[in-house]
Amino acid sequence: MEGIDLVYTWCDSADPVWNARRLATMEAFDLVPDPAANAACRYAANDELRYSLRSAERCVPWVRRVFLVIADDATPPKWLRLDHRKLQIVRLGEILPDPSKPCFCSDAIEHRLAFIPGLSERYLLSNDDTFFARPLSPGFFYARDGYPFFRFAGERKPSGAAVYPTYVRMIENAAGLVREAFGGHCAHDLERAFVRYPHHNVDAYAKSDVLDAYERYARAIAPMYDYPFRRPEHVQRVLYAYDAIARGHGHFRLAVFRVKERRPWWKRLLRPGYADSLQFFGEGWRDGPAMLRKWRPGLFCFNDTERSSAEDRDWLRKTLSSLFPVPSSFEKEGA
């Protein structure tokens, strides 16, 4: 299998220039903070990128290059070695269809990542708050046929739509597009995917398939670049998983737990329980270390929320530092 790249999208509301433009754009569009679409926590950086890179260098050293996608006027982290041989900074103006329009919507940006110049045919997409927990091979992300595994989480229920209306609507928009494209006749695995939430962690893609799907659904995606923030009419990137599975160019997988208590004691000793991935929200952050020890996931994520306090974020930084204490080669010495 040829080289696999790793792509991060990143922003930091502590950047005064970038954040001033974000707030001015919100005012111009008469927006107020909305936890489901544009809450301040969506733009806060808790130094997670530093530790995510540490986890990547430790657990997926086979990654060919790392692309960090940031806004045109954003300043990269001061600790980051911009001259690192495996690192490339990508400005939004290089990949957005109309760089003159402001964009603060991660969903819109994710649709254009396959347009990164020099990106490998196979690439992983990670947010800065996602981490590699243990050594993983390319086979964790790609099957022997070269097509990616697309992992899905729990079933979507009406209660979820009430709590996350914008997010759920965007997923439903993606499902509707693929149903229409394939005439409503969907394979069993695709139907299983339609009723579940997309796995929120490091995702794998094949660039040629993403570009092909982008052109197929371009009319539905294009309006996203006329509005700079998340909104219910947008299309979630799970579109590419649905389309690939429908065409036989991707494999449905459940992000599963292997439960310790359901197996004989001797089997538990030989092979303890594990999880594909774990996700912790602000109110559940402090359960994270114990859960990581118990389940030994391949991936995990610490999601920020509007309820996270300054004390919570300080705890998160210290915890990540204890989980990944060894600086990576992407960090300036002493930074």
Q: Where exactly are the structural domains of the chain?
A: 4-256
**pLDDT reading at 308 higher than 80:** no
Question: What is the per-residue pLDDT for 14?
Answer: 92
According to DSSP, the residues that pair with 137 across neighbouring strands are none
Q: Rounded to an integer, what distance in angstroms lies between the CA atom of residue 138 and that of residue 128?
A: 20
Could you report the per-residue pLDDT of 155-183, keeping only the tens digit for each? 888 766 667 788 999 999 999 999 999 87
Residue 273's pLDDT band, with cuts at 50, 70 and 90, is low
Share of the chain above pLDDT 90, in %: 69
> Which run of H or of E encompasses 58?
helix 48-59
User: Which burial class, exposed, middle or buried, applies to 251 when counting CB atoms under 10 A from its CB (0-12, 13-18, 19+)?
Assistant: middle
Taking all residues of the chain, what is their mean pLDDT, rounded to a whole number?
Answer: 89
Average pLDDT over residues 282-311: 84
CATH, domain 4-256, list 3.30.70, 2.60.40, 3.10.20, 3.90.550: 3.90.550
**pLDDT reading at 34 higher than 90:** no
Average pLDDT over residues 312-328: 94
Q: Which of 330, 282, 333 lies closest to 129 in space, CA to CA?
A: 282
**pLDDT reading at 258 higher than 60:** no
Average pLDDT over residues 264-288: 72
Extended beta strands in the chain, E state = 4-9, 66-70, 87-91, 122-127, 130-132, 149-155, 196-198, 203-206, 251-254, 257-258, 274-275, 277-281, 299-303
Residue for token digits 């294009």? 222
According to DSSP, the residues that pair with 204 across neighbouring strands are 124
Question: What is the per-residue pLDDT for 259?
Answer: 45
Could you report the per-residue pLDDT of 105-152, keeping only the tens digit for each? 999 999 999 999 999 999 999 999 999 999 999 999 999 999 999 999
Question: What is the per-residue pLDDT for 320?
Answer: 96
Q: Which residues contact 311 (CB under 8 A, 6 or more apart)?
A: none
Residue scoring higher pLDDT (42 or 258)? 42
Residue 260's pLDDT band, with cuts at 50, 70 and 90, is very low
Residue 299's pLDDT band, with cuts at 50, 70 and 90, is very high
**pLDDT reading at 270 higher than 50:** yes
Residue for token digits 């300080």? 314
Q: Rounded to an integer, what distance in angstroms lies between the CA atom of residue 90 and that of residue 88?
A: 6
Q: What is the DSSP letter of 223?
A: G
In angstroms, how far apart are the furthest CA atoms of the chain? 63
Q: Rounded to an integer, what distance in angstroms lies between the CA atom of residue 335 and that of residue 332?
A: 5
Q: What is the DSSP letter of 97?
A: S
Question: What is the per-residue pLDDT for 198?
Answer: 92
Could you report the per-residue pLDDT of 74-117, keeping only the tens digit for each? 999 999 999 999 999 999 999 999 999 999 999 999 999 999 99
Amino acid, single-letter form, for residue 118: G
**pLDDT reading at 35 higher than 90:** no
Question: What is the per-residue pLDDT for 84?
Answer: 98
pTM, entire model: 0.92
Q: Rounded to an integer, what distance in angstroms lies between the CA atom of residue 102 and that of residue 227?
A: 8
Sheet holding 299-303, edge to edge: 130-132, 299-303, 277-281
Could you report the per-residue pLDDT of 221-244, keeping only the tens digit for each? 999 999 999 999 999 999 999 999
